[in-house]
Structure 1
Amino acid sequence: MAALALLAGTGGPAGAATGGVLTTGLDDLGQLGDAGPAGRTSFGGPVLDGVEQVAGGREHVLALVGGSVRSWGDPRKGALGRPVGATSPAAVPGTVPGLAGVDEVEAGHYHSLALVDGAVWAWGMGSLGQLGDGSTAKRTAPVRVAGLAGASAVAGGRDMSYAVVGGGVRAWGSDTHGELGDGGAAQRSLVPVAVAGLTGVVDVVAGRNHALALRSDGSVWAWGLNASGQLGDGTRTTRSSPVPVEGLAGVVALAAGADHSVAVLADGTVRAWGESARGQLGLAGTTDRTRPAAVPGVAGAVDAWAGRDTTYVAAGPERRLVRWGHDDAGQLGAGATAARRAPTAVPGVEGVLDAGGGRAYGVALTAG
């Protein structure tokens, strides 16, 4: 569900770090990728080796392997991008045909994105224009996003998509809650439009109906739905143009869950804001936060990712996996199914290169 930030040095070029994919949680639609039983409450695998990056949609997973894309999980919306049965889960990884030299993969709810030499390719559900090809068609194979060149990063939300181009951000798809960030009143755009007023952007991530942009000066800007305070501007006012997230400086990584947001600072501490009902902020209590709050008990953080109502962090020189949030199906890999409101490390899961998840499952890419 959330778009997962690409780690420096873990993209498609030769020599990138690689590892094995571990999965945990619900497996009703094949999202664990091992053709196993209904699910598990601890990380297992690897279900795939030689992987440079992973991305989790609502019920599908993408992996970048040597410049090509593997996918598994729910086939019904076309988000796997490969020939599979219309309804039966694709319970093991398979190759998305027609893509080579891929630098980054990202997943929205029911659609997928690939960055190839500055161009963006998309597939899956397109009913609100989230594929950016000028249509509202569902695509079961990759199509090129119209009019984009020179993109350096991509992200997918529920029904919208983003690309960083020349320090600005382009957006397409749903605009019901201001997700396109262009200040307009349109309900959707079938092709990319410019997000208003952003320069110096180095990364973008997306939640269910909101987005965050990280600028080169370490500041964060946000737009879209703000009912739970996920924009971090001290209000619950939905924004159709970017606003600065309050009190943040020196940010090096971002993550966005369904309705919460997370930032890693250069000093290794973590801030979180937005919805807190399921423990996804890592704070005591269930009160939503409309401004970033320091997450206690996390030191040496170097990157962060999010699932629907979960947060995952790589911490320390060993890059151990630390997690918190909702755990109704084992998506935290804690060996049980109870919400965890405080950060705890997953025993034995270190060397984390990437992580994330979607509805009730988690995925981690580890070098160990």
Structure 2
Amino acid sequence: MSDKHNRRRRAARAVIGLVALVVGVLGLAAPASAAPPAAPTVSAGYGHTCAIPANGSLWCWGGNFSGVLGDGSTVSNRNSPVRIGDATTWASIDAGTVHNCATRTDGSLWCWGSNFRGQLGDGSTTSRNVPVRVGTATNWANVSAADSHTCAVRTDGTLWCWGFNRSGQLGTGPASYYETAPVRVDTATNWASVTTGFAHTCATRTDGTLWCWGDSTRGQLGVGILSYRATPTQVGTATTWQDVSAGYAFACATRTDGTLWCWGENGYGQLGANITYQTTPAQVGTATTWTGVNAGDNSACAARTDGSLWCWGNNMAAQLGDGTTVNRYAPTRVGTATTWTNDVAMNYHSCGVRADRSLWCWGNNDNGQLGDGTTTQRSAPAQLTLG
């Protein structure tokens, strides 16, 4: 689940639709933190996957608890991709544990699946088995879905969150236990991207600063505390943060100098080093060629400028794609391909897009979330065709 936004917000307002189309179709990674975010076209929930191919259609497969597949049903798992509706204007997708949110090229935002804590943002706590529009706004730029809360950035640089707020993960203060519709986070108008963990949230601003809030009992906010913050708190003083991605109780981010940093819980090696939990960002190795990072539940994957893909952390379901089920405390290369993009998603299974727009999945497959027609776990990437 990670994003980047615009170097000049004014220019982005004019081109955001075109950028979303180009990035989604080509699988391109956006440049430094000030540029529009690379729209993710594949996303992995706990037991399901959704993806948007080059034609702008939407497909989901795997477990269907609470109607998370969006095909109008709530009972049957799908071990092959199922198309959701007939629209061809989907731009980006992000999967939470059992809900999804997606943007369209017209800037509208849609969510579906579990809604127990209002995480769909439609003003109710009713689960939905088809996409339901969130309000009437047409300027949504990027969205991140977590376990029970969701946050999104608009093209005017404002940040909005909704859903569960027990740990302050909405960033709106401790007053509300949950919100069923988007609530604005502070008054800043230079938010660039947002990422949601289980009960914490992090976001970048167009000035390259990084901010986190919510649960930090394992150091996952990166601000040096083991407690909570109910409003955005800046992570250090650096102004070179490029993108950030939150996992269950940790987060990882890259900087514009190509370095990679992680913090929070490290029980499975998800910080990319054999260290204890970290309450502030710790650099992962010495490489300066990282282009983006995507955190899963207790694992992470990141691409480098040479197109190689590296994963680390929990590997109990072969979600690291290295042919084993051994946990890794340092980035481990996934095969030998040199065409991976930053469009990679993971949970207990992983899927990624290569430069030729091909889709590959691996890891846990108990609910058919690899989409290959089976429920057989895979320890290495296997190509999947949509449509």
TM-score normalised by the chain length of structure 1: 0.85
- Whether the 8 Å contact between 2:166 and 2:174 is mirrored in structure 1 is no
Gaps of 5+ in 2: 7-17, 29-38, 357-387
Task: Provide the rounded CA distance (Å) in 2 between the counterparts of 1:350 and 1:72.
Answer: 27
**Mapped pair 1:185 → 2:175:** yes
Task: Provide the rounded CA distance (Å) in 2 between the counterparts of 1:171 and 1:262.
Answer: 21
Higher helix proportion = 2
Task: Provide the rounded CA distance (Å) in 1 between the counterparts of 2:63 and 2:26.
Answer: 28
Give the 3-state SS of the residue equivalent to 1:104 in structure 2: strand
Structure 1 stretch displaced more, 10-19 or 93-102: 10-19
Structure 1 stretch displaced more, 86-95 or 255-264: 86-95
- Match for 1:277: what amino acid? G
**Mapped pair 1:159 → 2:148:** yes
1:1-368 to 2 correspondences below 5 Å? 3-5=1-3, 11-13=20-22, 16-18=25-27, 53-65=41-53, 66-84=55-73, 86-97=74-85, 99-116=87-104, 117-165=106-154, 166-285=156-275, 287-316=276-305, 318-353=306-341, 354-358=343-347, 360-367=348-355
Give the 3-state SS of the residue equivalent to 1:12 in structure 2: helix
* Equivalent in the alignment of 2:366: none
- Match for 2:295: what amino acid? A
Report how far residue 13 of structure 1 moved: 4.4
- Match for 2:139: what amino acid? G
- Whether the 8 Å contact between 2:66 and 2:127 is mirrored in structure 1 is yes
- Match for 2:137: what amino acid? L
Give the 3-state SS of the residue equivalent to 1:183 in structure 2: coil
Higher strand proportion = 1
Gaps of 5+ in 1: 20-50
- Whether the 8 Å contact between 1:6 and 1:53 is mirrored in structure 2 is no
Report how far residue 299 of structure 1 moved: 3.1
Task: Provide the rounded CA distance (Å) in 2 between the counterparts of 1:322 and 1:107.
Answer: 21
Q: 1:311 to 1:192 in 2, by over 3 A?
A: same
CA deviation string 1:109-160 (max 9, x = no partner): 1101111222110000111111111111010001111253311111111111
CA deviation string 1:26-59 (max 9, x = no partner): xxxxxxxxxxxxxxxxxxxxxxxxx972111111
- Whether the 8 Å contact between 2:24 and 2:92 is mirrored in structure 1 is no
* Equivalent in the alignment of 2:385: none
Q: 1:241 to 1:7 in 2, by over 3 A?
A: closer
- Match for 1:59: what amino acid? G
Q: How many residues in Structure 1 have an aligned counterpart in Structure 2?
A: 331
> Percent identity, aligned pairs only?
32
- Match for 2:226: what amino acid? R
Task: Provide the rounded CA distance (Å) in 2 between the counterparts of 1:264 and 1:99.
Answer: 34
Task: Provide the rounded CA distance (Å) in 2 between the counterparts of 1:15 and 1:237.
Answer: 38
TM-score normalised by the chain length of structure 2: 0.81
Q: 1:15 to 1:136 in 2, by over 3 A?
A: closer
- Match for 1:258: what amino acid? Y
Task: Provide the rounded CA distance (Å) in 2 between the counterparts of 1:177 and 1:327.
Answer: 28
Task: Provide the rounded CA distance (Å) in 2 between the counterparts of 1:334 and 1:15.
Answer: 27
Report how far residue 247 of structure 1 moved: 4.5
- Whether the 8 Å contact between 1:121 and 1:142 is mirrored in structure 2 is yes
Report how far residue 217 of structure 1 moved: 1.1
Report how far residue 18 of structure 1 moved: 4.7
Task: Provide the rounded CA distance (Å) in 2 between the counterparts of 1:99 and 1:15.
Answer: 15
- Match for 2:319: what amino acid? Q
Give the 3-state SS of the residue equivalent to 1:311 in structure 2: strand
Q: 1:240 to 1:18 in 2, by over 3 A?
A: closer
- Match for 2:26: what amino acid? A
- Whether the 8 Å contact between 2:70 and 2:131 is mirrored in structure 1 is yes
Once superposed, which parts of structure 1, at least 4 consecutive aligned residues long, lie more than 4 Å away?
6-10
Structure 1 stretch displaced more, 260-269 or 348-357: 348-357
- Whether the 8 Å contact between 2:4 and 2:242 is mirrored in structure 1 is no
